[in-house]
Amino acid sequence: MIKRQILIVLLGIVLFNCSSEDEINEDQQVSEKTIYTLPVVVHIIHTGEEIGTGYNLSNERIIGQIKTLNDDFRKREGTLGYNTHPLGTDAKIEFKFAEIDPDGNTTNGINRVNVDDIEYEIGNDAWFFDTLPYYAYWDKQDYINIWVFPFEPNIILGQSSVPQADLPGLENKDTSGTTGIMITTPHFGTSDLDGGSNLGRSLTHEMGHFLGLEHLWGKIENADCMEFDDYCDDTPPVSRRTGNCDGTPALSCNGESMLTQNYMDYTDDACMNMFTKDQVIRMRYVLENSTVRKSLTTSLALDRN
């Protein structure tokens, strides 16, 4: 329950957002669209452990996490990210470890940072994004910065910055601050951690926010279907999270089944497997139009030849 309470608080802090038919041309089928490949740098913030122990996660786990992210965004058959739901859509967005660092040197896209080398104390600020650049920050126009931050399990899973775009819910976002995604170490990648958030889906969820998606219920949860909007027409109208995946029937505000399996709900990682078509259209629109997202599609941090 602590996790859920914290997440409610985070919901109030991080404002993100789906799509409107008026705003987005849906004529082009997603299946026919270009595959975008975006460079990621994973900053592993650790406390001096050997690689592969404690907060200093192994390369294998980090690589596995980015594979999960790609499996989910590409709805890859044979993975947990596959589904046969009529709304389930391949986003045709992929993520690749950066190959060139900001100094022009080759890199494996994994940047290990020992906090002992940084003159800043962990946890001083409630708002992670004010402090994360002290540890590491690569040019936000060229890299998706992912900070893996040492923190206790099942308290905070992750946070994302929000894009600016001419879409409902994203019009007036200030993008001058830190841009990227923070995932707390216990929830980054696959592990045997208790609590349900142990299969790397926190990053899938936060990447949805990073590309402009709202939670299914919008910004503020309520139990009474009072006010809600995720700006996606094909997600059922809901005003609250499902919060479980035990098969308990859960109905939306108009009596439809809730999309418990959607990445933008708060179900356990094992239950998630879907972005809808409208969610995908919204994310791709953001990627094609937002000032601090569009440049990622052509970033020279990847060898694109």
Supply the residues annotated as catalytic.
Answer: 206
- Phi/psi at 14 (5° precision): -95, 115
Distance CA 228, CA 236 (A): 11
| Sign of the C-alpha dihedral computed for residues 12, 13, 19 and 24 taken in this order | positive
Which residue shows structure tokens 């914290």? 6
Distance CA 44, CA 56 (A): 6
Distance CA 163, CA 173 (A): 7
Residue 40, CA distances (Å) to 1, 170, 201, 296 in order:
32, 23, 16, 9
* Nearest residue to 130 via CA among 178, 163, 179, 180: 178
